[in-house]
Amino acid sequence: MQNNHYSLKTYLRLAWRHARRRPLQSLFFVLGVAIGVAMMVAIDLANGSAERAFALGTETVTGKATHQILGGPSGLDEQIYGRLRRELGYRDSAPVVESYVTASELDAQPMRLLGIDPFAEAPFRSYLGIGPQATGTADYLPPLLVQPNTVLLSAVVAERYGLAVGDSIHIRVGTQNHTLTIVGLLQPSDDLSRRALDGLLITDIATAQELLDRVGRLDRIDLLIPTGAAGTATLDTIAAILPPSARIETTAARSGTVSEMTAAFSLNLTALSLLALVVGMFLIYNTVTFSVVQRRPVLGTLRALGMTRREIYGLILLEAGVLGALGTALGLGLGILLGRGAVQLVTQTVNDLFFVVAVREVAIPVFTLVKGSVIGVLAALFGAAIPALEAMSVAPAGALKRSDIEDRARTALPWVSAGALLLLAIGVALLLPEFNLYIAFAGLFAVILGGALLAPVLTLWFMVGVQRVEGKQLGVISRMAPRTIVRSLSRTGVAVAALMVAVSVIIGVGIMIGSFRSTVEAWLEDVLQADIFISVPALGSNQANAALEPAVVDRLATIPGIAQTATNRTIEGVAYLADLPTATGETATGAVVADGTPVSIIALSEDLAGAERNYTTAVGDWQETWAAVEEGAVLINEPMANRYKLRVGDELALQTDRGVQRFPIVGIAVNFDVRPNVFFHDPVYRHYWDDNALSAIAVFVAPGVDVEEKVAELRAAFAGDEELLIRSNRGTRQNALDVFDRTFAITVALQLLATLVAFIGILSTLMSLQLERSREIGVLRATGMTRQQLWRLSLLETGLIGSSAGLIAMPMGLALAIILIYIINLRSFGWTLQMQLEPQYFGQAFFVALGAALLAGLYPAWRMGQMEPAEAVRSE
């Protein structure tokens, strides 16, 4: 035991002294790990924060409820609640009216306006501290119940925004503005209630009904149903008194479907965040190889002095572990900082594409930190494992020469290349069959790793080619550069591989985003036919609760210069894609007790896209298909068809206000909504749903009318308390593309960081090569090579490394683009994209590789020039 203690001390001393002598190399190692870990932690925090914020928003507001009674677009009649309590005597129920609103005094962040019955609350949301039994509520309960437009909010929030009891806040609900008075501040009793209260504005249910224009209606009724037979019986009893438009869902189902929806998005980001760590492992490999090569006499001496092979292996891994731990610690800190920025980007995307979520704090879960730590240290150890094996093979008295390592690397090259081909084959095998997304990503990483392992042999061939082309035409410096790269292939090959991976990802993701953008642009061109679009400002992507009065259409008809209008109504609906557990729902009376899948139901007054609408499959041409929709059939979007394996001819069971109804699918339309979409003809929709509201109006102006002028005129005409969004076709399209660009902002940031790691990798490689060659450089200087000639030599070498990486990255990037477009994207989101190959992606990426290499070469070249030849040639 004591022996071990001493040897560990010796190891640490040796490691520390070495690190101190080569601080830059140690710094590169630490940075490589740190950036990799930081990216992973940042994305993990961002994904986690958005998910947790959503969970808080739903689950904590749902409270202890096990089930919910839900209605159609117009909600539930509030008399159902009365019948539930009076006729059935069922007390474990609480009515809720809620919506997202913004308040100018609260930074205009989305807040959930929760209208509740304080007397029914206690069993459900006890942490709100509301209810006759709760202490300290007496003061604010009477005004909350009696005075209109009164609100409670968290004392913590009030303090944050400098608000007090008696102050007013101005909220915006859809197109309406209202003023509310704060009548009480809720003191959170613990951390959970603090976080739950953070995003809530609580009003009496009657106030909420008035504010949200839902008098006499409820959004849902929360239930506490026991498990087992008694519970099932209770559910059946409740279902029997419900109208066919209602349904009963478990509360667990909702958060489940939502996390399923964002899972693919999170996974894509996580995969991309791992990229920097993969690139970082190449850097670690290079740094450790260099430290082993450089210390071969020391390692030989240690072996001669009695250190066993295993101890040498342990020494190298210990060093890597310590530096890895340092890098990991730094990476965790950096990741938390970056995470705050990433949260903004991720939250914005989640809001744009999926659902309303406001992240008020970036929680730092221990799990994320532990995961980051373990992966960071493991990556360091993994990257160091092969060089540590090399170190083991150092014979006593340091017989291992650098050229031995190169010889061994050269012998291993065919095996490495064969391994690369095998990995590529495995990658393809994992990608082609329709396995789940995780396996597809494993396949993608196998392809990337396979490509990286091919880099050394391709670099070798490239350098041989360069020498052939050059022949004898060029000077000695041009001949030396490619040979130096070949001679140090074990390191230069790895540097090329790292840079190639980063650059090929830039190409692959660039082509994917570019193709995606042009596909979306073309699609917008097709579907956005009208000149002007009028809608209600909605928080996030969710248009369902934002409604326009049908009277707007009538008013439009009176405005001159408008040729035609068409309408769109979008609501959040529910589809039953599995067999229903009971037959009750299929009957005209009673409600379904089952968990459905949320879908967007979109009712179109006419098919404006017409011939321009692209169908992946349909029952006939566009006219026949639309005629079928007018007859009562539906269209679904491609993501929905792909995700749920639905085909033309299948029947789709939807919850309507007339109970569950089945609709034949007659077409699968190409569209880029991540959520499942079901398209109806407007009259059919109105037949099945008791809803007369509109979500958007498309306006065609008469020939010769200036669209922008008409937009201004409409804005003036509708100015007042109704805040309508009136945008021209161009503005609408731009808005959609802005959302698109925001979505990919984080992707670009992640790519840049991975490239930064590759850059550090090249810098580290060049510096280690330069240190190794210090004698050679000394001799060259002694023989008469000027500093300028040395610069030329150095930059030529780095230029060749960069060019190799850039050239190999081109086919690799193309392969990645194909995988991303046709496999990952399709399986993640169900989108079919048209690949657009533009030479600029390849050109830019090549120059990124070359530029990164040359930039990384500047400092080593400068150091080479500064080197004292007298020192360098002195002795071995």
Partner 1 sequence: MSEVATAVVQEAPNSASFAPNGHTPKAAIIRLDRLSKHYTEAGQTQLVLDELNQEFYEGEFVCLLGKSGSGKSTLLNLISGIDAPSNGDVVIYDGARDVRITALSEQQRTLFRRNHIGIVFQFFNLIPTLTVLENVTLPLELAGKEDRDHAVALLERVGLGNRLQTYPDKLSGGEQQRVAIARALAHDPLLVLADEPTGNLDEDTGDTVLTLLLELTRDAGKTLFMATHAPEVARQADRVLHLVHGKLNGAR
* Chain positions contacting partner 1, by CB under 8 A: 403, 475-476, 479-480, 483-484, 487, 775-776, 778-787, 789, 868-870, 873-876
Contact 376, 327 (CB under 8 A): yes
- Minimum Å gap between C-beta 426 and partner 1 is 37
Q: Which is nearer to partner 1, 298 or 480 (CB)?
A: 480
Coil, helix or strand for 181?
strand
433 CB-contact burial (10 Å; exposed 0-12 / middle 13-18 / buried 19+): exposed
- What gap in Å lies between CA 47 and CA 273, rounded to an integer? 11
- Minimum Å gap between C-beta 855 and partner 1 is 24
Question: Which long-range CB contacts under 8 A does 631-634 form with residues at least 24 apart?
Answer: 632/663, 632/681, 632/684, 633/663, 633/664, 633/665, 633/666, 634/663, 634/664, 634/665, 634/666, 634/678, 634/679, 634/680
Q: Which is nearer to partner 1, 690 or 776 (CB)?
A: 776
Q: Which is nearer to partner 1, 217 or 775 (CB)?
A: 775
Q: Which is nearer to partner 1, 338 or 867 (CB)?
A: 867
- Minimum Å gap between C-beta 461 and partner 1 is 18
Contact 338, 35 (CB under 8 A): no
Q: Which is nearer to partner 1, 177 or 786 (CB)?
A: 786
Measured in whole angstroms, the distance separating CA 291 from the mean position of its chain's CA atoms is 38
Distances from the Cα of 118 to the Cα of 23, 93, 97, 112, 145, angstroms: 65, 12, 13, 17, 9
- Minimum Å gap between C-beta 456 and partner 1 is 17
- What gap in Å lies between CA 521 and CA 526, rounded to an integer? 9
Distances from the Cα of 576 to the Cα of 258, 580, 654, angstroms: 16, 7, 6
Question: Phi and psi dihedrals of 693, rounded to 5?
Answer: -80, 170
By C-alpha distance, which of 763, 793, 754, 752 is closest to 286? 763
Q: Which is nearer to partner 1, 24 or 477 (CB)?
A: 477
Q: Which is nearer to partner 1, 10 or 789 (CB)?
A: 789
Torsion from C-alpha of 274, 279, 280, 283, nearest 10 degrees: 170
Q: Which is nearer to partner 1, 13 or 483 (CB)?
A: 483
- Torsion 740-743-749-752 (CA) sign: negative
- Minimum Å gap between C-beta 404 and partner 1 is 11
- What gap in Å lies between CA 276 and CA 41, rounded to an integer? 12
Give me 242's structure tokens: 């419900």
- Minimum Å gap between C-beta 790 and partner 1 is 10
Contact 71, 245 (CB under 8 A): yes
Q: Which is nearer to partner 1, 85 or 479 (CB)?
A: 479
- Minimum Å gap between C-beta 830 and partner 1 is 54
The shares of helix, strand and coil residues in the chain, as percent rounded to the nearest 5, are 60, 15, 25
Q: Which is nearer to partner 1, 482 or 857 (CB)?
A: 482
Question: Phi and psi dihedrals of 147, rounded to 5?
Answer: -85, 135
- Minimum Å gap between C-beta 408 and partner 1 is 15
Contact 352, 336 (CB under 8 A): no
- Minimum Å gap between C-beta 372 and partner 1 is 42
- Minimum Å gap between C-beta 470 and partner 1 is 13
- Minimum Å gap between C-beta 23 and partner 1 is 20
User: Which residue carries 């809530």 as its tokens?
Assistant: 200
- Minimum Å gap between C-beta 490 and partner 1 is 15
Q: Which is nearer to partner 1, 189 or 786 (CB)?
A: 786
Q: Which is nearer to partner 1, 136 or 475 (CB)?
A: 475
Measured in whole angstroms, the distance separating CA 501 from the mean position of its chain's CA atoms is 21
Side chain identity at residue 764, one-letter code: S
Contact 669, 598 (CB under 8 A): no
User: Which residue carries 């030849």 as its tokens?
Assistant: 869
